[in-house]
Amino acid sequence: MKILISPAKSLNFEDKVQTSINSKPLFHNDAIKINSELKKESIESLCDLMGISSKLGELNWTRNQDFIKDSNYSKQAIFAFNGDVYDGLDINSLDNEKHQLVNNIIRILSGLYGILKPFDHIKPYRLEMGSKFSINGNKNLYDFWKSKVTNQLKSELAEDELIVNLASNEYFSVINSKEVSNKIISPQFKDFKNGTLKIISFYAKKARGLMSRFIIDNNVKSVNEILSFDSGGYSYSKRDTADELKPVFIR
């Protein structure tokens, strides 16, 4: 099984990590290539590119300039990302004995690194996959990454291995799913709001992390086992599921 998740905008490079698993991103050289172009952007340009405040623009301008300088300032991706998905996954409470399992089955899609194993060391950065940033003749990051990321994912998959897409649409779109023969399921998480079932972004993101943790804790192997997911008050609703590849979980 492979679980696909998105990165987070918020980062935590302060807290120390206790684990013996360390690796280098497969597309490290491509990340350097992207950074070499990104660091040319001014603070104002970064603000426009990513729709961020001047304070965040300044922070990320500094990150871009320092990307190569400090070779020791890095951290495993699964511990460095600090958003709602990662709150749900709660890697810090997971026994170290399961770290290798996490590294085997989770893949993080990234605008800068393409695709990451959880224990790949990354530098502080911010670059959403959907950013309209041209690189090497490619008009955007999707064009730059799509073939590389799709082929890498395919190379890691066994013939009948299941893919659980828990990434956002922005990030999953970097995968050319038409070229992937493996079954892909994309769970949907919905909450009642004013009497209507809706996908509420904050809750859905955390639920993606909760499902990732559920799969790890229970060593889930099949779709039927995924449908038994019951964390955070969610449960599978066959009635609200119109597409079996997009099972709906409600609460």
State pLDDT tens for residues 3-56.
Answer: 999 999 999 998 888 888 999 999 999 999 999 999 999 999 999 999 999 999
pLDDT value at position 237?
97
pLDDT value at position 125?
96
Domain count for the chain? 1
Global pTM value = 0.96
Q: Work out the angle between the directed axes of helices 43-50 and 54-66 (0-180°, nearest 10).
A: 110
Sheet of 188-193: strands edge to edge? 196-198, 188-193, 248-250, 235-236
Confidence at 68, pLDDT banded by 50, 70, 90: confident
Residue 212: domain span: 2-250
Residue environment code for 85-100, b if the CB has 16+ CB neighbours within 10 A, otherwise e = bbebbebeebeeeebe
Burial class, 157, CB count within 10 angstroms (exposed 0-12 / middle 13-18 / buried 19+): middle
pLDDT value at position 34?
97
Report the mean per-residue pLDDT for the chain. 95
Count of beta carbons in the 10 Å neighbourhood of residue 111: 27
The pLDDT > 90 percentage for the chain reads 92
Q: Which helix (H) or strand (E) holds 248?
A: strand 248-250
When pLDDT is averaged across residues 228-250 and rounded to a whole number, the result is 97
When pLDDT is averaged across residues 218-240 and rounded to a whole number, the result is 96
DSSP 8-state secondary structure symbol assigned to residue 83: S
* CB 114, CB 152: distance < 8 Å: yes
